[in-house]
Chains A and B, each alone.
Chain A
């Protein structure tokens, strides 16, 4: 490249002297200086327009939320951290956590039964999932609520034979027990499918390699199959978990005052505050889901080890490098 300066002909020269000018117009692959060879990325004006439209709509929604007196933000502020609301929140957290743990444990057992070589276990597991996915959660909860009428006492013993232990059902079945049992039974059915799907997603070659190396069966499952299965189990189960957080609002119907229950009963005592109370519940549910989502992001990253060549940056890391870059640019500008 011996030429210096812009190799592209002036527009005037191009139109006027094109017959004499042997050089091709700027569509040709004429070698030019480095600056003329820089590839200019395609512009996306449509994207900018869409961005502006979306921002305007968002601003309007925000404006509406803030200025509409119907939301009564002062009442929202009054109720948001009231002990009575926080008590409900605690119940929601307790029921969610217990049901999530029992549901997952049940789901793992059901999935393993379904994948076992015993046809009886397979059938029982399939039947369980079929039944509990068919029954609406609210129906299940109300059933359990009235369970003591069906079976006043529960015993443990040989079927059709002697009973060893006997419980008084009404004493055992407090509201929270009913809620946790109902949600766990329901959750286990869905978790079973999530876990089973995850295990099936692991390549058959992995099972073979583990078997060919003579790895003990427990080790095969815990160190080879499970970590790979979790990659697909985590996002699906978190989805399930978020559904669970919200389904806990149904425990209101078995006389348990969770977050929603408290808000509902407060609403009937203070009819004027129904909307701000619903907003209180909404914001708390949004906070819970957000926490779960952030945890999900990092858990997923942990199980993604080895699945991509290089890990993408987390939003926090991106923000940090972005800020550092900006600072560098400002510093460079100041120097100039």
Chain B
């Protein structure tokens, strides 16, 4: 993770994630284009453009109500955009081009697309009636991407990877918050997604449990998976992020490397926010 000084900061995800974006011919891992979303009269997303390159770790910061979660949820179409589009690895999400217009896909097609996009919730949302291993194996089995025994073996492997190899048969309620969130991460990994989205993954945790979850996310970052993380953990952003995006009032106020956005913010609103949370 080196900062390319020649690249102008603040334009389309200029922070490199292993490859020089100027020569990288691969499509962007995630591209958000002109995203608008209204909740009633409230303009939650007011024209967001964002590009995250393959292998990059993007951290989205911003005050509460700035539209961070909505933006993240629009990437896997949990939230429908009113205007604009999202594409993941070059493929439009939730919609298809129909002449000049964008038409919504069938639910089945959207569900299939979501297999390529992992999502980790603030409140874990594990299935309480299934064991940790069953939670992890559910998606591969249900989508018939793997046989039952393959899925079970993979679940065991993934649980071991998040440090919970011995908790395969535990029900979520028998686990601590940090353990539950790690199971949720293993579950999101089960379909081998190219992109994983984290919606404030440590906000519901006791302070002493935050570290174990961030550690797992950090490990993931080092494997070259594209990650987009909405969080308030500035230290984590500084350490792991390739790209830091500051969102306020539904627009990207500023983006760049952690050194640029966190240590030398140019916009007064970013400075004000960081002064409050640091």
Which residues of A does B touch, CB under 8 Å? Answer: 203, 205-206, 208-217, 219, 223-224, 227-228, 303, 305-309
Q: What distance in Å separates the Cβ of B66 from its nearest Cβ neighbour in chain A?
A: 21
Residue in A213, A216, A223 whose Cβ sees the most chain B Cβ within 10 Å: A213
Given A305-B171, A306-B130, answer yes or no on A213-B139 (Cβ-Cβ < 8 Å).
Answer: yes
Q: Which of A209, A211, A219, A305 contacts B129 (CB 8 A)?
A: A305
Given A208-B121, A223-B138, A306-B129, answer yes or no on A214-B111 (Cβ-Cβ < 8 Å).
Answer: yes
Q: How far is the CA of A206 from the CA of B172 in the complex (A)?
A: 13
**Contact in complex: B111, A216 (CB < 8 Å):** yes
Given A213-B138, A223-B142, answer yes or no on A208-B129 (Cβ-Cβ < 8 Å).
Answer: no
Q: Given the complex, which residues of B lie within 8 Å of A303, measured CB to CB? A: 129
Q: Given the complex, which residues of B lie within 8 Å of A214, measured CB to CB? A: 111-115, 139, 143, 191
Q: Which of B78, B108, B113, B128 contacts A216 (CB 8 A)?
A: B108
Residue in B111, B112, B174 whose Cβ sees the most chain A Cβ within 10 Å: B111
**Contact in complex: A224, B127 (CB < 8 Å):** yes
For the complex of A and B, the 4 pairs showing the least CB-CB separation, nearest first, are A214-B114, A209-B125, A306-B171, A212-B119
A228 closest partner in B (C-beta): B129
**Contact in complex: B171, A217 (CB < 8 Å):** no
With A211-B111, A212-B76 given, name 14 new contacts (CB 8 A): A208-B78, A208-B125, A209-B125, A212-B78, A213-B138, A213-B142, A213-B191, A214-B115, A215-B139, A228-B128, A228-B129, A306-B128, A306-B173, A309-B173
A213 closest partner in B (C-beta): B139
**Contact in complex: A206, B142 (CB < 8 Å):** no
Q: What distance in Å separates the Cβ of B185 from its nearest Cβ neighbour in chain A?
A: 13
**Contact in complex: A216, B143 (CB < 8 Å):** yes
Q: Given the complex, which residues of A lie within 8 Å of B138, measured CB to CB? A: 213, 215, 223-224
**Contact in complex: B125, A205 (CB < 8 Å):** yes
B225: Cβ under 8 A from any A Cβ: no
B19: Cβ under 8 A from any A Cβ: no
Chain B: number of interface residues, binned into ranges: 20 to 34
Q: Given the complex, which residues of A lie within 8 Å of B174, measured CB to CB? A: 309
Q: How far is the CA of A215 from the CA of B135 in the complex (A)?
A: 12
B123: Cβ under 8 A from any A Cβ: yes
B99-125 near A? 1/0 per residue, CB < 8 Å? 000000001100111110001010101
Q: Given the complex, which residues of B lie within 8 Å of A212, measured CB to CB? A: 76, 78, 114, 119, 121
B182: Cβ under 8 A from any A Cβ: no
Q: Given the complex, which residues of A lie within 8 Å of B173, measured CB to CB? A: 306-309
Q: Which of A215, A227, A307 contacts B111 (CB 8 A)?
A: A215
Residue in B139, B142, B187 whose Cβ sees the most chain A Cβ within 10 Å: B142
- Please name 18 pairs of A and B residues whose Cβ atoms are closer than 8 Å in the assembled complex, sorted by A: A205-B121, A205-B123, A208-B78, A210-B127, A211-B78, A211-B114, A212-B76, A212-B114, A213-B138, A213-B187, A214-B115, A215-B111, A216-B108, A216-B143, A217-B108, A228-B127, A306-B128, A306-B173
B186: Cβ under 8 A from any A Cβ: no
A/B pair count, beta carbons within 8 Å: 76
Q: How far is the CA of A45 from the CA of B199 in the complex (A)?
A: 55
Q: Given the complex, which residues of A lie within 8 Å of B187, measured CB to CB? A: 213
Q: Given the complex, which residues of A lie within 8 Å of B139, measured CB to CB? A: 213-215
Q: What distance in Å separates the Cβ of A116 from its nearest Cβ neighbour in chain B?
A: 13
Q: How far is the CA of A210 from the CA of B131 in the complex (A)?
A: 15
Q: How far is the CA of A210 from the CA of B119 in the complex (A)?
A: 10
CB neighbors of A among B186-233 (8 A)? 187-188, 191
Q: Which of A211, A216, A306 contacts B172 (CB 8 A)?
A: A306
B241-265 near A? 1/0 per residue, CB < 8 Å? 0000000000000000000000000
Q: How far is the CA of A223 from the CA of B127 in the complex (A)?
A: 10
Q: Given the complex, which residues of B lie within 8 Å of A227, measured CB to CB? A: 129
**Contact in complex: A216, B142 (CB < 8 Å):** yes
Q: Given the complex, which residues of A lie within 8 Å of B112, measured CB to CB? A: 214
Q: Given the complex, which residues of B lie within 8 Å of A217, measured CB to CB? A: 107-108, 111
Q: What distance in Å separates the Cβ of A211 from its nearest Cβ neighbour in chain B?
A: 7
Q: What distance in Å separates the Cβ of A202 from its nearest Cβ neighbour in chain B?
A: 10
B126: Cβ under 8 A from any A Cβ: yes
**Contact in complex: A307, B129 (CB < 8 Å):** yes
B111 closest partner in A (C-beta): A214
Q: What distance in Å separates the Cβ of B1 from its nearest Cβ neighbour in chain A?
A: 28
**Contact in complex: A206, B171 (CB < 8 Å):** no
Q: What distance in Å separates the Cβ of B155 from its nearest Cβ neighbour in chain A?
A: 13
Q: What distance in Å separates the Cβ of B163 from its nearest Cβ neighbour in chain A?
A: 21
Q: How far is the CA of A244 from the CA of B114 in the complex (A)?
A: 45
Q: What distance in Å separates the Cβ of B101 from its nearest Cβ neighbour in chain A?
A: 23
A212 closest partner in B (C-beta): B119
Q: How far is the CA of A329 from the CA of B174 in the complex (A)?
A: 34
Q: What distance in Å separates the Cβ of A223 from its nearest Cβ neighbour in chain B?
A: 7
**Contact in complex: B126, A209 (CB < 8 Å):** yes
A227 closest partner in B (C-beta): B129
A215 closest partner in B (C-beta): B142
Q: Given the complex, which residues of B lie within 8 Å of A209, measured CB to CB? A: 121, 125-127
Q: How far is the CA of A313 from the CA of B172 in the complex (A)?
A: 21
Q: How far is the CA of A227 from the CA of B134 in the complex (A)?
A: 14
Q: How far is the CA of A3 from the CA of B155 in the complex (A)?
A: 58
Q: Which of B107, B114, B123, B129 contacts A213 (CB 8 A)?
A: B114
Q: What distance in Å separates the Cβ of A154 from its nearest Cβ neighbour in chain B?
A: 38
B143 closest partner in A (C-beta): A214
Q: How far is the CA of A169 from the CA of B186 in the complex (A)?
A: 61
